[in-house]
Amino acid sequence: SSELTQDPAVSVALGQTVRITCQGDSLRSYYASWYQQKPGQAPVLVIYGKNNRPSGIPDRFSGSSSGNTASLTITGAQAEDEADYYCNSRDSSGNHGVVFGGGTKLTVL
C-alpha cells in the first residue's frame, strides 16, 4: 500500500510564505489534494488536481508537484491559516483506494 509523509509541524511568521510538503510514491502518478482542518471542525478542501482552488479558498493557497513530492504553498500567511493540513492521493494499488498523509500542524507566529 502507499504512504504519504508530511512534516509534523511547521511555523511561519505572519505575512510570510510557507511551504508544506508531502512525499510518496503515488505522487509520481497522481496529484495530491490538500485539506485544512481547524480544531473541532471537519476538513476543508483547499487544493486539488494540478493546482485548483475550490470556490471561496483564498488565492494565497497554491499547489505544486515534482517527482514524488507535492507541496502546498501559502503566500502571505494569515492568522486564520493556523490549522492542520493533510495531503491526500489516490492509492497506486487501485481499488478506488486513497491515502492520507499524517498531517502538518501549521503555526502562524
Residues that bind another protein (CB under 8 A): 1, 29-33, 35, 37, 42-45, 48-50, 52, 54, 86, 88-90, 95-103
Which CB sits closer to another protein, 40 or 59? 40
Measured distance CA(82)–CA(95) in Å, rounded: 34
- CB-wise, 76 or 102, nearer to another protein? 102
Least distance to another protein, CB of residue 14, Å:
26
Q: Rounded CA gap, 12 and 88, in Å? A: 22
Closest CB to another protein among 34 and 81? Answer: 34
**CB of residue 80 to another protein, shortest distance in Å:** 19
For the chain, the 3-state helix, strand and coil shares in percent, each to the nearest 5, are 5, 50, 45
Comparison of 76 and 88: residue with beta carbon closer to another protein: 88
Largest CA distance in the chain: 42
Q: Least distance in Å: CB of 100 to another protein? A: 4
Q: What is the torsion angle, in degrees rounded to the nearest 10, for the CA atoms of residue 65, residue 70, residue 74 and residue 75? A: -30
CA distance 82 to 66: 25
Least Å from the CB of residue 96 to another protein: 4
